Amino acid sequence: MPIRVLPSLLLLVPLAACAGLQPKDPAMRAWSADAKRSIAQATPEQEAELRESLEWYRSRLDEGAAKHIAQAQKSNEVVLGRAGWNAQTKASTFESQIDLLRRHDFVPVLEPYAERQRGRFYEPPSKQAQDGLAKLYKHKQLLDDIRVAYSTVEAVGLYVAAEQEGTVRLNWSAELHTLQAAAEVVGFQQQFAVPASDETLEALTKVMGVRDQTRQLMATHTAMLAAFEGVAAGGDPAAVGRLAAASLDQGAAPPPVAVEDARTLVADLGGHALDIAASLEITMRAARGDEEYERHYRGELVETLRQIEEAEAKASLASMVDQQMKQARLLELQQMAQTVQQRLTDRAKALGLEKAEQVLERLPFGSQIVSGLRALRELRNGNPRGALMAAIDAAPPGPWQEGLRSASKIAFDIADKAKKAGVRRRS
C-alpha cells in the first residue's frame, strides 16, 4: 500500500502556514483563526484514517506469517514423531530415523551452500551405501524402514531449506512494511503538528509485533537448517527435536510490543530514513551476497525509501507560503526521487558494515534483526555453528530462545568428538 499524503493537507497547506504568521490585518487574523479551527477539526478524522492504514499493514503481514506458521507446525509434528510426512508414512521421531540411517551408513549427504542455492540439496547416495542396502534384500521390513526414514529426513531437510529462504523474504518485506507504516505516522505528525495519540501508536505496535514474529520465523528456520547441517555432519539429532518442541511451545501469537517502542521507532525514523535503509542494504548484501541481494531485495528497499522520503518531504511543504520557494522544493523532491537508488548505494558504502549494524541496533529490537542477518551470513559462509549461535540473539525471550540454547550445546557434539578422535565421518 503506497504511503498516503493525507488529502486535507492539500487544502490546509496555505492555511496552516498562514496560521502561524499572526497578521495585523483583522481579516487576515480571522482567516488565521479559521485555519487553526479547520486543522483541529480535520485532525481526528485523518488520524482515524491513519489507524485504518496501519491495520491494513498489520493484516497483510499477518496473512503472510500465518501460512509459514502453519507449515512450521506440520514440520515440527513430523520431527517429533507425532505425524508422518504424509498419509502413507508411519510417524517416527527424527532422532530415531537418523539413528537407523547411521547404523546403515545411509544418512543423506548435504551439498555445500552454494550448490543448495542452485537447487541441489543432497548428493546422490554413494555406491558403497547402495551396495550396503543391497545386502539387506532378505530383510524387507528393515529395508522399508530405511527407505521411509531416508525419504522423511530428506523431505524435512528440503522443507527447512525452502522455508528458510521463504521466511528470509517474508521478514524482509515485513521490515520494510513496518518502516512504511511508521513513516505514515511521521508524516501525520509533521502535517498536523501534533503527536500521534497512544491509540494510533498502539495500532503501530500491532504491525511491529507481526514484524517481530517474522523475525522469529526467519531465526527458527535458519537455526533449524544450521542444526540439520550439524546432524548431517554427525551431531546429535536430538538438537533438531529440541528446536521443534521449542517452536511449538513458543506458540503462534506475535511477541508483545510496547507503545513506547512504537513512539521510539517513529522518532528514530524521522530524518534518518536514508541511514536506516542504507544499513539494511549493506547488512543484507553481507548476508545474501551481491547477486542475490540485487535480484530479490534491492528493488523493494529502494521503493520503500522513495515512499518514506516522499511522505516526509510533502509534509514539509506545509510550512511554505511563498510559491516560488514551494516550486523549488517540489523540483528538489523530484530530483531526490530520481536518485534514490544511487544515494542509497552511496550511503551504504560510506557507512560500512560495522556502522550499519550500529544504526540498526539503536532501533527498538534492532539487535534482533542484526543477529538474524548475522546468522544468515554465517550459514552462507559455511559456518552452521556460528549461524545457530547468532540465531539465539535473533529470537525473542521465551521457550524458543531456551530451545536454541539447548540445541546449540549438542547439535555438533558427536561431530566434535569424532574430529578430536581423528575419525572421518560420512556426512
pLDDT tens for each residue of the chain, 427 residues long: 555 544 444 444 443 444 444 445 554 454 445 545 555 556 889 899 999 999 999 999 999 999 999 988 888 999 999 988 887 788 899 999 999 999 988 888 888 877 877 778 888 888 888 888 888 878 889 989 998 899 899 888 888 888 999 999 999 999 999 999 999 999 888 888 889 999 999 999 999 999 999 998 999 899 999 999 999 888 999 999 999 999 888 877 888 999 999 999 999 998 899 999 999 999 999 999 999 999 999 999 999 999 888 877 766 555 555 566 667 767 766 777 778 999 999 999 999 999 999 999 999 989 999 999 999 999 999 999 999 999 988 877 778 888 889 999 999 875 455 455 443 444 3
Q: What is the 3-state secondary structure (H, E, C) of 265-331?
A: HHHHHCCCHHHHHHHHHHHHHHHHCHHHHHHHCHHHHHHHHHHHHHHHHHHHHHHCCCHHHHHHHHH
Per the CB < 8 A criterion, the answer to whether 201 and 267 are in contact is no
Q: Which residue has the cell 506469517?
A: 65
Q: Which pLDDT belongs to residue 31?
A: 43
**CB atoms inside a 10 Å sphere around CB 419:** 14
Q: Which pLDDT belongs to residue 323?
A: 66
Nearest in space to 332 (alpha carbons), one of 350, 345, 313: 313
| HSE, side-chain direction, 13 A CA sphere, residue 289 | 10
The C-alpha atoms of residue 15 and residue 91 are separated, in whole angstroms, by 70
Per the CB < 8 A criterion, the answer to whether 85 and 78 are in contact is yes
**CB atoms inside a 10 Å sphere around CB 128:** 10
DSSP, collapsed to helix, strand or coil, labels residue 238 as helix
Per the CB < 8 A criterion, the answer to whether 61 and 67 are in contact is no
Nearest in space to 346 (alpha carbons), one of 272, 273, 268, 274: 274
The C-alpha atoms of residue 285 and residue 250 are separated, in whole angstroms, by 30
The C-alpha atoms of residue 273 and residue 265 are separated, in whole angstroms, by 11
Q: How far is CA 316 from CA 22, 151, 216, 241, 304, in A?
A: 20, 60, 37, 54, 19
DSSP 8-state code for residue 255: P
The C-alpha atoms of residue 183 and residue 310 are separated, in whole angstroms, by 10
Per the CB < 8 A criterion, the answer to whether 208 and 261 are in contact is yes
The C-alpha atoms of residue 156 and residue 94 are separated, in whole angstroms, by 9
Q: Which pLDDT belongs to residue 18?
A: 41
The C-alpha atoms of residue 215 and residue 208 are separated, in whole angstroms, by 10
The C-alpha atoms of residue 286 and residue 96 are separated, in whole angstroms, by 37
The C-alpha atoms of residue 138 and residue 126 are separated, in whole angstroms, by 21
In this prediction the pTM is 0.84
DSSP, collapsed to helix, strand or coil, labels residue 122 as strand
Cα Rg, the chain, nearest whole Å: 27
